């Protein structure tokens, strides 16, 4: 099945939403070997994922999603990652700062597909217990405006893509679909990605989300998936079923432009910082 879809993608015949969903279901069920699945994911990434393809994978991921009721809506902040860079876990720390400032955050935490540098790896490295019962997560959310939700637990379908993502050796459709599948009720989002084309696609998807009040999809200077002080960042503001582009410059916060890309390390090195 995947070989046939690979041929179609090479001939610019992109899978529909239902076709992408069926492919994802075959990968989750183990009907396809990891190498072939990885080749398919890499091909989609090389050609640029479409809204129907991302939507099909999202539907499959959400099928077995374990929802959690935190008692109130929350915000989420994350990046699509997959850039294979050794960098600081910015969104995970931003969640801490936002919560301390009074903004409720239910941060969905995933693991790195190529290395142990994902948000869940960082959270575990700083000693947070993310394996707690739902009641403990609700208590943390109530007391501290923050809980970290382990994607491995709440989105069990993701484990079935792990080996295929290793074979793909690049950012895949899973990086784009999974962050949009938070198991809590999310009404505000800050989502970072690495290029404007992907940002526009993600903003378009978010513009259809029921219950979402506002979202920013951001692209940092030099292809980082976050707002940066390296130069001008693009922001796609999603609100009222539409999105519009604006820009952010560090001088708006009284900061100057820094040179170079700050590199840190894996999650354990970042935790020690």
What pLDDT is stored for residue 81 in this prediction? 79
Percent of the chain with pLDDT over 70: 85
Q: Which two tokens stand for residue 209?
A: 């989300």
- Burial (Cβ within 10 Å: 0-12, 13-18, ≥19) of residue 265: middle
- State how beta strands 74-79 and 186-193 pair: parallel
What pLDDT is stored for residue 183 in this prediction? 96
Q: Which of 2, 17, 33, 26 is nearest to 157 (CA)?
A: 26
Task: Please state whether the predicted TM-score (pTM) of the whole model is above 0.75.
Answer: yes
**Confidence category of residue 115, pLDDT binned at 50, 70, 90:** low
Residue 194 has pLDDT above 60, yes or no: yes
**Confidence category of residue 54, pLDDT binned at 50, 70, 90:** very high
What pLDDT is stored for residue 265 in this prediction? 54
- 158-172 pLDDT, tens digit per residue, is 999 999 999 999 999
- As a whole number, mean pLDDT of residues 111-124 equals 70
């Amino acid at each position: 099945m995947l070989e046939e879809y690979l041929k179609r993608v090479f001939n610019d015949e992109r899978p529909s939403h239902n076709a992408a969903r069926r492919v994802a279901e075959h990968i989750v069920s183990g009907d396809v070997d990891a190498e072939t699945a990885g080749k398919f994911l890499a091909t989609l990434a090389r050609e640029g994922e479409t809204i129907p393809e991302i939507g099909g994978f999202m539907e499959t991921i959400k099928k077995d999603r374990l929802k959690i009721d935190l008692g109130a809506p929350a915000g989420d902040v994350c990046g699509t990652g997959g850039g294979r860079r050794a960098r600081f876990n910015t969104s995970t720390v931003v969640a801490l700062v936002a919560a301390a400032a009074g903004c409720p955050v239910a941060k969905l935490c995933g693991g790195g597909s190529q290395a142990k540098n994902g948000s869940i790896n960082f959270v575990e490295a700083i000693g947070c217990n993310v394996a707690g019962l739902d009641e403990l997560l609700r208590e943390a959310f109530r007391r501290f405006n923050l809980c970290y939700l382990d994607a491995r637990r709440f989105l069990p379908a993701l484990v079935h893509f792990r080996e295929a993502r290793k074979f793909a050796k690049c950012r895949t459709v899973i990086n784009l679909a999974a962050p949009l599948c938070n198991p809590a009720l999310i009404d505000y989002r800050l989502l970072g990605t690495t290029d404007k084309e992907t940002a526009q696609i993600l903003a378009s998807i978010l513009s259809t989300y029921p219950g979402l009040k506002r979202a920013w999809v951001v692209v940092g200077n030099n292809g980082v998936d976050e707002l940066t002080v390296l130069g001008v960042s693009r922001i796609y503001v999603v609100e009222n079923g539409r999105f519009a582009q604006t820009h952010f410059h560090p001088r708006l916060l009284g900061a100057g432009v820094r040179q170079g890309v700050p590199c840190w390390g894996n999650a354990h090195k970042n935790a020690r910082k």
